Structure 1
Amino acid sequence: MSERESIDGVPVTEDQIAEWAAEAEAGYDVTALKKRGRGRPGRGAEPSQVVALRLTSEELAALDARAEREHKTRSELIRDAIAAYAA
């Protein structure tokens, strides 16, 4: 195993790989795995749609600065701006 192999900065050891292999060979509870859910939680009753948007580094910096001032995420700030514009 390469010394560069890691998970979240923690090196993966041969012992860890052996434990994972033994766990997999013993089998997993499929019902428990399916209960974990998939993806990000929805924002409403309908599925959300992802929209790609290209911004310059200056636009992105201004957006991030305002989001930080307002204690919001980028996405929250963009959604608020669209809602205000569309109103």
Structure 2
Amino acid sequence: MSERETINGVPVTEEQITDWAAEAEAGFDVAALKKRGRGRPGRAATPSQVVALRLTPEELAYVDSRAEREGKSRSDVIREALAAAAA
């Protein structure tokens, strides 16, 4: 194996490849693989849509400050502001 073969910058060894091949030949637990899921968990019964939002440095600083103060994410703070504006 050449030194160019890496995973996250770490060279892959022949021993790793042999171990992976043995694991594959023994078979995988399909039920366990299906449970893993992909991506972030959903917020609701239906998929959410990602929306890009442009903020000035001052607006972003306010959002970040409030998020840190309240122990929330940027997204949570923005969603709460939208809900308050819609009420």
TM-score (normalised: structure 1): 0.69
Partner residue, 1:37: 37
Structure 1 segments unaligned to the other structure (5+ residues): none
Structure 2 segments unaligned to the other structure (5+ residues): none
Other structure's SS at 2:37 match: coil
Partner residue, 2:59: 59
Paired-residue identity, % = 67
Paired residue total: 84
Task: Report deviation, 1:12.
Answer: 4.9
Partner residue, 2:21: 21
> Is the deviation greater in 33-42 or in 18-27?
18-27
* RMSD across aligned positions (CA): 2.6
Other structure's SS at 1:21 match: helix
Task: Report deviation, 1:13.
Answer: 4.7
Task: Report deviation, 1:65.
Answer: 1.4
Q: Based on CA coordinates, which of the two structures has the bigger radius of gyration?
A: 2
TM-score (normalised: structure 2): 0.69
